[in-house]
Amino acid sequence: MAPYFFYFLAFLAIFSALMVVFSKNPVYSVLFLVMTFFAIAGQYILLNAQFLAVVHIIVYAGAIMVLFLFVVMLLNLNKELEPHKSSLLKLAGVIASGILMLTLIGTFRGATEQVVGAGLSDGLTYNNQVGLVKNLGKVLFSDFLLPFELSSILFLSAMVGAVMLGKRDKEPIEL
């Protein structure tokens, strides 16, 4: 069963990711991006990492994409208003992202070879319990305590910054 689910989700993720780029309407792009996130969350569940899947949905599909949709709908962007890019710019974009893809493929291939070279006969020894919230919490609060706390301070400062930006307007708004 699992391989079929994997292929279905992988196809869905790639298809909707492509549609994000090719959709003429920005609202459709955002909705396809939501679909991509759901497909990737499905892959996490196949890897028995339910916590990661759910957090992925809460943060990306539930919060960030809703704000994206908000902005796109409020500005009512559509293809008539979209600035036309010259073909030179398009070519540059294709070349730059092609190089990025090559780099990523190279890196991941290298990673697999390293793991195999390190003496693990079965490639990756994957612990299928690692994604459960209990194990994840233990690792986060013991081995990775400092990075975890640093990232929470980063979030806190971002929150304070957002509040300060919102408060900058001193004059009362006339209604």
Partner 1 sequence: MLLTIYDFTRLTTAIHTWLTSKMGDTLVMLSEMVMVGLCTLTFFVVLCLILVYMERKVSAFMQIRMGPNRVGPWGTVQAIADTVKLLLKEGLTPDGADKLLFNFAPILVVAICFAAMAPIAFGKGLAIWDINIGVLYISAISSVGVIGILMAGWSSNNKYSLLGAMRSGAQIVSYELSIGMAVLSIVVLSGSLKLSDIIMAQESGWWIFRGHIPAIIAFIIFIIASTAEINRAPFDMAEAESELTAGFHAEYSGMKFAMFFLAEYVNMFIVCAIGATLFFGGWMPFHIGGLVAFNNVMDFIPSPIWFFGKTFGLIFLIMWFRWTFPRLRIDQLLTLEWKFLLPISMINLLLVTLIAIMGWYF
Residues that bind partner 1 (CB under 8 A): 1, 27, 31, 34, 50-51, 54-55, 57-58, 61-63, 65-67, 69-70, 73-74, 132-133
C-beta of 69: minimal distance to partner 1 in Å?
5
C-beta of 61: minimal distance to partner 1 in Å?
6
What is the rounded CA–CA span in Å between residue 69 and residue 74?
8
What is the rounded CA–CA span in Å between residue 74 and residue 76?
5
Q: Token pair for residue 24?
A: 């003429």
C-beta of 94: minimal distance to partner 1 in Å?
29
C-beta of 96: minimal distance to partner 1 in Å?
31
Q: Which is nearer to partner 1, 51 or 115 (CB)?
A: 51
C-beta of 2: minimal distance to partner 1 in Å?
11
Q: Which is nearer to partner 1, 74 or 146 (CB)?
A: 74
Closest CA to 60 of 27, 38, 28: 38
What is the rounded CA–CA span in Å between residue 51 and residue 138?
14
Closest CA to 50 of 144, 124, 126, 136: 136
What is the rounded CA–CA span in Å between residue 60 and residue 37?
7
Q: Which is nearer to partner 1, 34 or 40 (CB)?
A: 34
How many other β-carbons are positioned within 10 Å of the β-carbon of residue 16? 21
Q: Which is nearer to partner 1, 63 or 92 (CB)?
A: 63
Give yes or no for a contact between 27 and 72, defined as CB atoms under 8 angstroms apart.
yes
Q: Which is nearer to partner 1, 84 or 167 (CB)?
A: 167
